[in-house]
Amino acid sequence: MGKYPKKLFDILVGKVGSEQGVYSAIRRKEKNFKAIKSETLFYLVAAENNIKISKYTDDEKILTKVDELMQRQGNNLIKKDNNLVQEQTNSKKEEIDPFLLPLSKFEIYDDLSKECKIKKPYSKEINHAVLTLEEFMRERMDLPSSTYGMDLVKEAKSKGILKGSTDGESQGLYFLFASAILWLRNSGGHKKRSATKDECFKIIMHIDYLIKLFDSLCNKFLKG
């Protein structure tokens, strides 16, 4: 036991379970607080085990130092907890970041997920997505490869595919598919344009919607 007061030492042994356990606890504290006397660390271990150390020493320097060390340890625990929470938050952000997932995870049109990626140059991927829409429309209407662009939209209209429950809805369907050709495709086909990762992802998702919508309309209205 040495320099440690016997009564307090015995109480601490009862808390920790053995004399060796007490000495081991003090050695661990010595690694964390290298410049602190082992006697002070003994009282620190006692305080951590819910023993009121002021009953066993009236040395104000020891009591003050133990309070200080307890506070330092508390602050370190808070920092560790905050760091852990931040790491978990960052991990969750990565898990739900849609840009890190393959497009097949979103159950989009098979050819679209195979042929398009969320990668640079994003404008090229957007253009490729619109071409995939054109190809789908052409094959769905059984048209020759020479039919492309706005001719596809006009053919769909003439075949009664772009039909809503009102004239206004039918017109809206026409402009919806026309905008994919006239804006999303032509704006990148006639001149260089820049696009962001966010735009690339959202436009590919939009093209997927158009492909599935066109397929549904064909199933409903396309004859022959």
Predicted confidence (pLDDT) per residue in 15-61, tens digit? 888 888 888 888 888 887 777 888 888 888 888 888 888 888 888 88
Whole-number percent of the chain with pLDDT over 70: 83
CA angle 125, 113, 211 (to 5 degrees): 85
Paired tokens of 178:
């026309």
Q: Examine the pLDDT at 85 and tell me if it is beyond 60.
A: no
Nearest-angstrom CA–CA distance, 72 and 44:
12
Helix (H) / strand (E) element for 56: namely none
Task: Looking at 97-162, list the stretches that DSSP marks H as alpha helix, in order from N- to C-terminal side.
Answer: 110-115, 122-140, 150-158
Q: Examine the pLDDT at 75 and tell me if it is beyond 50.
A: yes
Q: Which tens digits make up the pLDDT trace of 102-144?
A: 788 888 999 898 888 888 899 999 999 999 999 999 999 999 9
Tell me the mean pLDDT in the region 70-89: 62
Per the CB < 8 A criterion, the answer to whether 222 and 161 are in contact is: yes
Q: 87 φ, ψ to 5°?
A: -65, -40
What Cα–Cα distance (Å) separates residue 98 from each residue in 105, 121, 170? 9, 18, 33
What Cα–Cα distance (Å) separates residue 222 from each residue in 64, 111, 142, 203, 217? 87, 22, 11, 26, 7
Report the amino acid identity of residue 174: Y
Q: Which tens digits make up the pLDDT trace of 160-199?
A: 999 999 999 999 999 999 999 998 876 655 455 688 999 9
On whether the pTM is more than 0.85, the answer is: no
